[in-house]
Amino acid sequence: MITIKRLSECTLEDAVAAWNKGFEGYYFDMTTTVELFTRRLILEGLSPTLSVIAYDGDRPVGLILNGIRLINGKKVSWNGGTGVDPEYRGKGVGKKLIEAVLAIYEDEGVEVATLEAIKENVKAISLYEKVGYQIVDELVHLQLTDGLSKDAFLSKNKQFTFIKGIPIDASQVPFYKAMVPWQTQWNNARDGESFLALDENKAIVGYAIYKRLFNEEGKLQSIILLQCEAEPSHDKKEDIARDLLRMVYHSTTLNVARTAANISVSNKILRDLLEKEGFKVKAEQVFMVK
């Protein structure tokens, strides 16, 4: 018999066992440890009291991680990972987990529930649709592991000036996009950075949020772009995006991994600029809202 418990009522060892089995055979290697799992909960704002684990007797067979935050005055939840043990897939475990989570959302007064799903995972997407989620956007994950040319994203004329800051600075921009996949929101850019692009009148015409990841020796390993947006009505959106990308990715001459995470396919200018410089699609997802 399948029972559902809050993660806060379970051991971390059970949570890790459920995670590792639940993401077995996934599109990426998601294997974790107690230490790494705990770090994920903290850094990504995921709550043990809002997350759930499914058990068959004493055996953990699935889980859903969750977080909730206020966005534009509304309580918004996000799904930080859903996994079911391969031996229990297709047996209703996923549905029980989602039903339990939706009940928690209702108790917590959540007004908008969000999640991302791998585009190829049609079974999961179908299940989410059956409980009321709808696809509102498609996302692409781009990556460049080769070196970036010195002329990449170079503009013919220097049109903008830049202010370097932290992610919350970008969140204050009037056209900041708040309702985006949770991993790309400013709140999740722990130790992240930002650039604001200013025109000749010192008006903000664009912003970028990104993270630089370092190893234990302090060596830069990767640069991850989370958001890059130009003022929607501006007539030089491509120039703004080009200059912001140059500021973000040319922060080093090292041959590091450069990534653009969960970029909306509707942001054609950004995608075209990245792919022109050799960025390749690593994954495609859908953004779903209930």
96-119: pLDDT as tens digits: 999 999 999 999 999 999 999 999
Question: Which domain range does residue 160 map to?
Answer: 141-289
Q: Are residues 146 and 277 in the same domain?
A: yes
* Over residues 55-83, mean pLDDT: 95
Read off the pLDDT band of 20 (50, 70, 90). very high
Percent of the chain at pLDDT > 70 equals: 100
Is 60 a member of any domain? yes
What is the pLDDT at residue 287? 97
What is the pLDDT at residue 26? 77
Which among 66, 91, 110 is the end of a domain? Answer: 110
Look at the pTM and tell me if it is higher than 0.75.
Answer: yes
CA angle 259, 264, 265 (to 5 degrees): 105
- Whether residue 264 is predicted with pLDDT greater than 90 in this model: the reply is yes
Percent of the chain at pLDDT > 90 equals: 86
Which among 110, 128, 154 is the end of a domain? Answer: 110
Helix residue ranges, H only, the chain: 12-22, 34-43, 93-108, 122-130, 167-171, 237-249, 268-276
Q: Are residues 145 and 284 in the same domain?
A: yes
What is the pLDDT at residue 149? 86
Tens-place pLDDT, residues 131-143: 999 999 999 999 9
Mean pLDDT rounded to a whole number for the chain: 94
Q: Are residues 91 and 158 in the same domain?
A: no
Domain count, the chain: 2
What is the pLDDT at residue 53? 98
Which are the contacts of 90, defined by CB distance < 8 A and separation ≥ 6? none
Instruction: Assign residue 104 the CATH number of its domain.
Output: 3.40.630.30
Q: Are residues 185 and 88 in the same domain?
A: no
- Whether residue 147 is predicted with pLDDT greater than 90 in this model: the reply is no
What is the pLDDT at residue 28? 75
Tens-place pLDDT, residues 37-54: 999 999 888 999 999 999
Q: Are residues 103 and 158 in the same domain?
A: no
Is 120 a member of any domain? no
Q: Are residues 159 and 282 in the same domain?
A: yes
Q: Are residues 54 and 194 in the same domain?
A: no
167/146: higher pLDDT: 167
Is 270 a member of any domain? yes
Read off the pLDDT band of 17 (50, 70, 90). very high
Q: Are residues 162 and 262 in the same domain?
A: yes
Q: Are residues 145 and 254 in the same domain?
A: yes
Beta-strand runs (E) in 86-203: 112-118, 134-144, 161-165, 193-198
**102: closest CA among 141, 132, 58?**
132
Q: Are residues 93 and 150 in the same domain?
A: no
- Whether residue 252 is predicted with pLDDT greater than 80 in this model: the reply is no
Q: Are residues 154 and 206 in the same domain?
A: yes
What is the pLDDT at residue 191? 87
Is 118 a member of any domain? no
Is 211 a member of any domain? yes
Which among 110, 129, 157 is the end of a domain? Answer: 110
Is 94 a member of any domain? yes
| Cβ atoms 36, 44 nearer than 8 A | no
Q: Are residues 148 and 220 in the same domain?
A: yes
**In this structure, are strands 74-84 and 112-118 parallel, antiparallel, or unpaired?**
parallel
* Over residues 168-197, mean pLDDT: 94
* Over residues 210-236, mean pLDDT: 94
What is the pLDDT at residue 158? 79
